[in-house]
């Protein structure tokens, strides 16, 4: 008897092995600046398993307002919180969501004139400062998240650029492997707060019971984009961010601009201590 094990094509980039589970021929890994630039080095941060659907994390990437409410104790940018209902939202003059060639640009205008941009790279990546957060669906109710950081050599030289250090985040909840209300999340880190907000929506959020408001316009834009791109695939077309040309130039997600105009203190090139 012959047994055949199914195999998938794998590519290596930025310290990760990338497998493609779709129909052949496999597309190339998008050459986003954070992943493909060679004038620096990479490091990875692996997060604990997220026990809910990946779309909950992605919709959060275009929910600008949540930063000012959910993370008001940890991300203040010097703003004095006077009401926990408004958090730091009054530190924001306005925010914009704009579709661009590779996804959605989320742009925040702060009172001190600084502007922050965090593009959502369609469909499952958020670029924030010098890192990308990649949300990998494991199945419909579990997600694995890894951060890929790029550090320009001009900012911090490193002898061996090919070595990609990995840090593993300590668990965000206790006990592991179970969901709300049978587990307790710690709230002392931004990522732990996000995990709490994503998982407590349930394994798959029931969107028939939600009430979207004006501040959810990024979520609506992302859902419309998803629907449009799914329909393209159904018509036999290629969706956004599928690349097949090996000579495709590096895609500038404006990481450098983001680092220049980002809020002071929001960019950290060096690796934090290993957390276990």
Output the smallest distance, CB 63 to Fe ion, in A.
8
Total residues belonging to the chain:
276
Residue nearest to Fe ion (CB): 194
198 close to 217: Cβ distance less than 8 angstroms: no
Residue closer to Fe ion, measured from CB, 183 or 193: 193
CB of 70 to Fe ion, least distance (A): 6
Nearer to Fe ion, 117 or 194 (CB): 194
Within 142-252, strands assigned E span 142-152, 166-168, 173-174, 184-185
Q: How far is the CB of 66 from Fe ion (least distance, A)?
A: 6
In which element (H, E) is residue 259 found? helix 255-261
Residues 207-234: b if buried by 16+ CB within 10 A, e if exposed: eeeeeeeeebbbbebbbebbeebeeeee
Beta carbon of residue 101, minimum distance to Fe ion (angstroms, whole number)? 25
Cis status, amide bond into 175, omega within 30 of 0: yes
245 CB contacts (<8 Å, ≥6 apart)? 28
Residue with Cβ nearer Fe ion (49 or 161): 49
- As separate numbers, helices (DSSP H) first and strands (DSSP E) second, the chain gives 6, 12
C-alpha R_g of the chain: 19
Interface residues toward Fe ion, by CB under 5 A: 194
CB of 93 to Fe ion, least distance (A): 20
Give the nearer residue to Fe ion in terms of CB position, either 65 or 136.
65
Q: Which residue's CB is nearer to Fe ion, number 118 or number 149?
A: 118
């Amino acid at each position: 008897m012959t047994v055949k094990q199914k195999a998938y094509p794998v590519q290596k980039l930025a310290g990760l092995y990338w497998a493609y589970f779709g129909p052949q021929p496999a597309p190339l890994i998008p050459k986003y600046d954070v992943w493909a630039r060679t004038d620096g080095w990479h490091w990875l941060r692996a997060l604990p398993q997220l026990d809910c659907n990946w779309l909950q994390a992605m919709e959060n990437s275009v929910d600008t307002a949540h930063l000012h409410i959910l993370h008001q104790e940890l991300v203040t940018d010097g703003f004095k919180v006077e009401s926990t209902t408004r958090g730091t939202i009054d530190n924001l003059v306005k925010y914009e969501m704009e579709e661009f060639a590779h996804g959605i640009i989320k742009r925040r205008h702060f009172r001190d004139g600084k502007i922050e941009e965090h593009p959502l790279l369609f469909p499952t990546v958020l670029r924030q400062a010098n890192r990308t957060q990649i949300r990998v669906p494991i199945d419909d109710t579990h997600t694995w998240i890894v951060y890929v950081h790029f550090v320009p050599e001009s900012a911090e030289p490193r002898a061996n650029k090919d070595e990609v250090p990995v840090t593993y985040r300590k668990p965000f909840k206790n006990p592991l492997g179970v969901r709300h209300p049978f587990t307790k999340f710690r709230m002392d880190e931004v990522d732990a707060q996000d995990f709490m907000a994503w998982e407590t929506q349930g394994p798959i959020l029931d969107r028939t019971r939600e009430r979207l408001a004006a501040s959810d316009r990024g979520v609506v834009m992302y859902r419309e984009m998803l629907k449009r791109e799914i329909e393209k695939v159904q018509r036999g077309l290629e969706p956004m961010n599928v690349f097949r040309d090996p000579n495709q130039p590096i895609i500038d997600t404006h990481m450098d601009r983001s680092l220049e105009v980002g809020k002071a203190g929001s960019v950290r090139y060096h690796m934090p201590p290993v957390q276990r």
